[in-house]
Amino acid sequence: MNPAAVRTQVRRAWAIAKKDIRIYYFKGPVLIFGIFMPVFLFLAFSMGGRQLPLEFLLPGLMGMTLFFTSTAVSPAIFPWEGQAKTLERLAACPITIEAIVLGDMAASALFGIGVTAVTLLIALGLGLPLLHGIVLGSAVFLAAFCFSALGIILAAPPTNVPSNIMMLSSLLKFPLVFISGIFIPLEQLPAWGMALAVCSPLTYLTDLVRYAFTGAHYFPVPIDIAALIAFTLLFTAGAMRLHRRSLPRRV
């Protein structure tokens, strides 16, 4: 594809992103799974008698907020579009499936970053010092796109019933939260727990956020960043490939 065609597809992807933000990102699933659910989980563990320090819990809350917000709507966009028959109109337009996926990813990532910024302000307001702002910004940016791509992968089954996709999404997301070092420090996990934790991109985001606030980390920072980049590329390529195959069965 020549550079002019690439620029055209990028503009169309941005148009898809703006459409998604305008239509989808003030629906109930975003508020429930992206904002309220992390707060409720945070309160449950902070009041559960485990006496975890604030500098341990608040970075975990930021990681959960970004994870749940970035994956709250992206799994349901394709089913919603298919149900409303707007996906057929998109498929008939001169736009590639890659541009559609990137547009959906961008909308989800931007919304996740925006909501996570509110959590950051809460952490700073409670007196948690930010030691490594560049690391935090890089981690949040990478993880937002990583989690958005994961959400779009979950939308790959060719069904136009959003509840089916959201059920699948919940079955994957909640186990990831509990194996990613958010509530249990990675150094306290058993060997089988660590084997699971290294397979979760949320593990590396949580490690980076804690490093940004406390200076403590489990993995070296370059390893965390490289893992997020690898997961982002893997999920993005997988989402494009799967939706290229499933789109003809969906419309």
Q: Give residue-wise pLDDT tens across range 182-204.
A: 878 888 888 888 888 999 999 99
By residue count, the chain amounts to: 251
Inter-residue contact 135 to 221 (CB < 8 Å): yes
Under the banding of pLDDT at 50, 70 and 90, the label for residue 148 is very high
Q: Work out the burial of residue 139: count CB atoms within 10 Å of its CB; fewer than 13 is exposed, 13-18 middle, 19 or more buried.
A: buried
Which residues 6+ apart lie within 8 Å of 186 measured at CB?
Answer: 194, 197, 203, 207, 218
Please state, for a pLDDT cut of 90, what percent of the chain lies above it.
25
Tokens read off for 19: 């459409």
210 alpha carbon, distance to own chain's centre = 18
What is the C-alpha separation between 92 and 104, in angstroms, rounded? 17
> 181 or 42, which is more confident?
181
**Of 5-19, 52-66, 156-170, 232-246, which has the strongest mean pLDDT?**
232-246
Angle formed by the axes of helices 54-70 and 37-46, nearest 10°: 160
Place of tokens 């563990």: 45
**Domain assignments of the chain as residue spans, ordered by start:** 3-250
Q: Work out the burial of residue 222: count CB atoms within 10 Å of its CB; fewer than 13 is exposed, 13-18 middle, 19 or more buried.
A: exposed
Give the amino acid at 235: F
The CB-based long-range contact list for 86-93 (8 Å cut-off, 24+ gap) reads 87/247, 87/250, 87/251, 88/251, 90/16, 91/247, 91/251, 93/12
User: What number of other Cβ atoms are within 10 A of residue 105's Cβ?
Assistant: 30
Which residues 6+ apart lie within 8 Å of 221 measured at CB?
Answer: 135, 208, 211
Q: Give residue-wise pLDDT tens across range 16-53.
A: 888 888 887 776 656 666 667 666 766 666 665 456 67
